[in-house]
Amino acid sequence: MAVPHELTSLVHDCADCPIRHRAVCARCEADELQRLEQIKYYRSYQAGQTIIWSGDRMDFVASVVTGIATLTQTMEDGRRQMVGLLLPSDFVGRPGRSTAAYDVTATTDLVMCCFRRKPFEEMMSTTPHVAQRLLEMTLDELDAAREWMLLLGRKTAREKIASLLAIIARRDASLKLRSAEGAMAFDLPLTREEMADYLGLTLETVSRQMSALKKDGVIELDGKRHIIVPDFDALLEETGDDSDGGFLV
């Protein structure tokens, strides 16, 4: 697929990449980036398009450059569960595994920076900066999965909505090299239906809790997707997490 025109400069110059400081190549030196350049290519997907099906062979690994994708798993009887979100800078695929573990679907228009899997695996064994960064990202993903277990198992509907908004707000701030504090604004990448699916709630509950957070001044809505947070600390107070970064028990 063709790469969008606005990413033309990105394709030719990694220094201008919007996820460079968070991606798997974040610690790479110039010579290492040059090696990655030799095995790199870009793919773009339209919203709703399936990137890979569970069980399919994956000949690449990738970083999400722009857009959002979902990870879903389908049971034998056809029931589907969204098990994760892929936000900009998140890594897709697993070195050492030739098949996909989940369905990966573009939620919005999506661009990925892809690396051919075999050469990438070989590079990991000879380039500590790549292997070290991927390990850090894997551990971060493990922490996020544990946090999500708490969210789905113990948090109220209001806390779930607030937690999801806080996660997206933090990532947006990180990509823009800003601190997550004070007033913030970001675009919500999920529809209400997708939020309900991801959080294990009904559509009605999501809409009701979003309206309640708006009524209480925790968030402001500009259209359907643009979220304004007047005070990020006030949003965090709604998540049920401890103020020191831990969880309330």
Average pLDDT for consecutive 10-residue bins of the chain (249 residues)? 41 71 86 87 93 92 91 82 86 89 91 93 87 87 78 85 91 82 88 87 94 96 90 93 46
Q: Are 39 and 123 in contact (CB under 8 A)?
A: yes
pLDDT at residue 44 in the model: 94
Whole-Å CA distances, 72 to 47, 58, 61, 234? 15, 16, 18, 31
**Cα-Cα-Cα-Cα dihedral sign, residues 21, 195, 150, 146:** negative
Whole-Å CA distances, 235 to 85, 110, 143, 177, 187? 21, 28, 21, 20, 16
Fold of 155-237: Arc Repressor Mutant, subunit A (1.10.10)
Q: Are 3 and 42 in contact (CB under 8 A)?
A: yes
pLDDT tens for residues 205-222?
A: 999 999 999 999 999 999
pLDDT at residue 140 in the model: 84
- Containing 52, the helix (H) or strand (E) segment is strand 50-52
pTM over 0.75: yes
User: Could you count the other beta carbons within 10 Å of the beta carbon of residue 75?
Assistant: 8
What residue segments make up the domains of the chain, in order of their start?
Answer: 5-142, 155-237
Look at domain 5-142 and name its CATH class.
mainly beta
pLDDT at residue 6 in the model: 39
